[in-house]
C-alpha cells in the first residue's frame, strides 16, 4: 500500500506524520486510526485506495499473524 507513493516521506507529508512512522507501517501495517486519512490522501493523489481495502488488508495481516 505504502509503495503506491514514491517514498514514505511523500505519504507522511500528506498525513502530517513523521516519515519514520510511515516506514514502520511497512512492517506493522497501517493502524486503523489512520485508514480514513490514508484513503483521503489516496483519493487526493488519484491512487486506488479506500477504507474498505485498508480494512481488508488489515484483517488479512491479523489472520497471517494469528
Considering only 13-17, 24-28, 57-61, which range has the smallest mean pLDDT?
57-61
Q: What is the pTM of this model?
A: 0.75
Residue 63 pLDDT > 70: no
Query: Which comes out higher in pLDDT, residue 5 or 65?
Result: 5
pLDDT of residue 66: 47
Answer left, alpha or beta for residue 48, where phi above 0 means left and psi between -120 and 50 means alpha.
Answer: beta
DSSP 59: H
With cut-offs at 50, 70 and 90, classify the pLDDT of residue 50. Answer: confident
Q: Which residue has the cell 513523521?
A: 18
Amino acid at each position: 500500500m505504502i509503495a503506491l507513493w514514491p517514498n514514505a516521506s511523500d505519504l507522511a507529508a500528506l498525513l502530517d506524520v513523521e516519515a519514520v512512522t510511515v516506514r514502520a507501517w511497512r512492517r506493522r501495517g497501517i493502524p486503523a486510526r489512520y485508514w480514513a486519512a490514508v484513503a483521503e490522501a489516496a483519493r487526493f493523489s488519484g491512487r486506488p485506495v479506500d477504507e474498505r481495502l485498508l480494512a481488508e488488508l488489515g484483517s488479512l495481516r491479523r489472520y497471517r499473524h494469528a
